[in-house]
Amino acid sequence: MNLRRDVFQAIADPTRRAILLLVATQSMTAGAIAASFDTARPTVSKHLRILTECELLEQKQNGREVHYHTNAKKMKEIADFIEPFRKMWDDRFNKLEDIMKNYKPTK
């Protein structure tokens, strides 16, 4: 396996996000996924490889075919990735509220 790829690098690309959305509802072969995009097939293959390397997609052998499906656990990590950002603002606003509750106008 190549160097470990970052999930956020993976989802920064619109085609890769579209692939995740597509595969989220049903597992699909690489061919079926590629058929859903205007992009050249090698490009789609590259996206699939990146998504698989960062574990957002998993492969499953199904007879002669390989099906791709999303890795629910890894997908949840993305869902949670804005939590530290939310927490940062929550902390600031809590502080604002505390300061203003004790605010005495200097008039």
Partner 1 sequence: MEQKTKIDAENGKQEILITREFDLPVELLFKAYEEPEIVAQWMGTKVLKLENKKHGSYIFETSDQKGNVAFVASGVIHEFVPEEKITRTFEMENTPFAAQLEFLTFEKLTHDRSKLTMHVIYKSVAVRDQILALPFAQGINMAHNRLQNIVSQLK
Burial of 61 (0-12, 13-18, 19+ CB in 10 A): exposed
Distance of closest approach, residue 72 Cβ to partner 1, in angstroms? 16
Query: Phi/psi zone of residue 79: left (φ > 0), alpha (ψ -120 to 50 degrees), beta?
Result: alpha
The residues binding partner 1 (CB under 8 A) are 3, 5-6, 8-9, 11-14, 17, 21, 81-90, 92-97, 99-101, 103
Nearer Cβ to partner 1 (37/66): 37
Shortest Å, Cβ 73 to partner 1:
16
